[in-house]
Structure 1
Amino acid sequence: MASRPRTKRTAPPPKRRSPKKRASSATAAKARVAKRAVAMAAPGMVEAALAAFAHEVRTPLTGILAISDLLATSDLDERERRWVDTIKAGAEHLASLATLFVDAAKSGHAAFGVRQDLFDLRALARNAGDSLAGRAAAKGLQWRVELSDKLPALVVGDPVRLRAALENLIDNAVKFTETGEVALSVEPMRVAKGKVGIAFAVSDSGIGLALAEIRRLFRPFSQANVSIASRFGGAGLGLSSVKQIARAMGGDIVVAPRRGGGTTFTLTVILTRAKASAAESRDTDGITAGEVRGLRILGVEDNPFGRVVLNTILTELGHSAEFIGRGEAATERIAESAFDAVLMDMVLPGIDGIEAIRRIRSLDSPHGRIAIIGVSGRGDDEAASRAAGADAFLVKPVSPRALATALLEATRRAAAAT
């Protein structure tokens, strides 16, 4: 049987896209590239924005802390002194929270690992009690604070997040109580050797919670019921964060109905008992302003409020100051006049504080060996500041004691180098 002749098949010619379609495809490709570029740049933009936020927030907080420190040296009665201590503790807590925001941006996510800092547990408990008392009094509520005499003083843990968790519980207790009482009790718990277990119980005589409402309470963006959200406000995120903090610190949070009406939230954490050597290394009570003679200081600070605060502290310490707002003007001003030390802010218009320090150090002696103190809202800037030539470093908010200590360190180092 004869085979049938094969016909040669050829591929159809490629379809040509119209110029309009080619342009549309190119535009879409450019859009995808731009979108990827924005996504890659976003983390850096967030970090920069939060760093700027932290810097701006710390400026007024520095003033609040400085003035509260100065008020504490005035002739105050016991009640007024407690008010000053409460203001100071609140400002310190806000400054620490600003640092946490920056840390979260740098890590690229909201998750966190708890810090291991030495802190005074009794002072933290007293400050939380003062916060509860102040909020309750402002709303016309009765209040009660019971702190165990067996609480250790110095411990190691995360005081910033612990204070944040307590402030959340205190805020809720006052917010959800129209009449009656709010209370805080702090007691030690028995835990493993070398550790410190602490139970913070915050109770109120407020609206109370049903069992079904308690089960929903610690979910993110969830509140006990719709009527509570509409009546009292809030996103419902706070208690979820408190539980996360508690578990990260080896504890937990539980809620129970309070006898006679209301609710009790008990937050537990596990801390490390501080060693005596660690406490001694942090003791700076022996440093006083009198150890440094009256100095003439050049302050490089662009914020007018920050200048007023620093000038107030320096005047109280017995020093005189002149301020300029740009880093590039520092070298010229130092060469023109006789200053004993420079307070150099890290965030400035024009060149930053790091570059300004480098330029000062490039001057001929004795101007190039002037004592320099770096000042920043970020502790991470210390290494770069010292590498550029700073003799000492201060983290905002600046206290009178910290400034006196830094001046002592800087002038001693500068004198030893000449």
Structure 2
Amino acid sequence: MPEDAFSTAAPKNWAGTYAYRAATRAHPRDLDEVVQLVRSGGGRIHALGTRHSFTDLPDTEGTLIDLSALRGDVVIDAASRTAVVPAGTRYGVLALKLEAEGWALHNMGSLPHIGVAGATATGTHGSGNGNGVLSTAVRALRYVGADGEVHDTRRGDADFAALVVGLGAFGLVTEVTLDLEPSYRMRQDVYTGVTWEAALADLDALTSAAYSVSVFTKWEGDEVGYVWTKTRLDTDHDGVPATLLDGALAAKDDSPLASDDNVTELGGVPGPWMLRLPHFRLDREPSFGAEIQTEYFVDRADAPAALRAVRELAPQIRPHLVVSELRTAARDQLWLSGAYERDFLAIHFTWLDRPEEVSRVIPHIEAALAPFAARPHWGKVHAFNAERMAAVHPRLADARAVFERLDPAGRFVNAHLERVGVREPR
């Protein structure tokens, strides 16, 4: 199977802001080759997907197993309303296949370019007060464990709640089985003029204004910025309200992102779910380019107070910020999910590629959010250590015990997992 040594120009994540340090990388093309790799030696290994993490979470001092080539056929079972998806499949590619067969997912992330296995393993979430994170659609996992054997775990199994948001800490996931629902239509609209005063007085009215809502802000002035709503349609003639709190619907030609050719269509134009739920188009470069991302999850009940605390830091945040995004998700029972046992508001920061400056701002944000037990996104830049992570993730020790039992020799351990307490130090 293909294997190579990393050159001095080390491969980087998709944004170009993290360089992988692994000595070697392998590219298995099927399950048998994954098994062979695990059985072939005793060194440390770790899975690498579509490179959408911003830290050393998917890195290793040993061999990176690049699973992006595992892109076989998606198998749809209409009777069980599920799809078996090879680990390397990107959400946008999967969505096209599902739509062609009349099926859909309950939600998608902002980028359709992300891989199914990596996104679900890190708790990537999309948005919507009533929508679980993407990981909640996982019905089953197939993985190659530290013993070199193929294992299956399904919803209801004893370890399932630990393994779904598993961070690559226990094995190499090769297939994910996802829940499906019938295809549906959507429209996207942008509201402007909503003030912070109105938003913080009734934040739930804002975040429940559509099936999925995103607020884009730069923490400046009296207005929040742009409220981007994604509405599920019964018919293509369904309308949306002309006002939202004290804001108003933007005309199609005045939509703030209308000139960006990499975003999905705005202006209330009806379309299929997979061309409206993501923010960005699969056939274009995503997001802003060279960037760093940070994100924290707070209980939705604490969201107004948490946002007030972040607003106090606006002078420190703005010089290094591209944009922030506020989104929501419904609570779940997945042990390492950001939404474990609480509905959350996600407070996201897309930073300019200024690592030193960003590293100085992050501790201030985390201190401001500490009273609200904010949980960091696993795949984005933060300053949490093991002690702080355990304080906000009540099942962290239980998940770690599962990972240690499944991988007692620590083949899937890396420096990041040790640092945040997901695996025992070695």
What band does the TM-score fall into relative to the shorter chain? under 0.3
| Greater helix content | 1
TM-score by length of 2: 0.22
Report the structure number with the largest CA radius of gyration: 1
Structure having greater relative contact order (Cα 8 Å, sep ≥ 6): 2
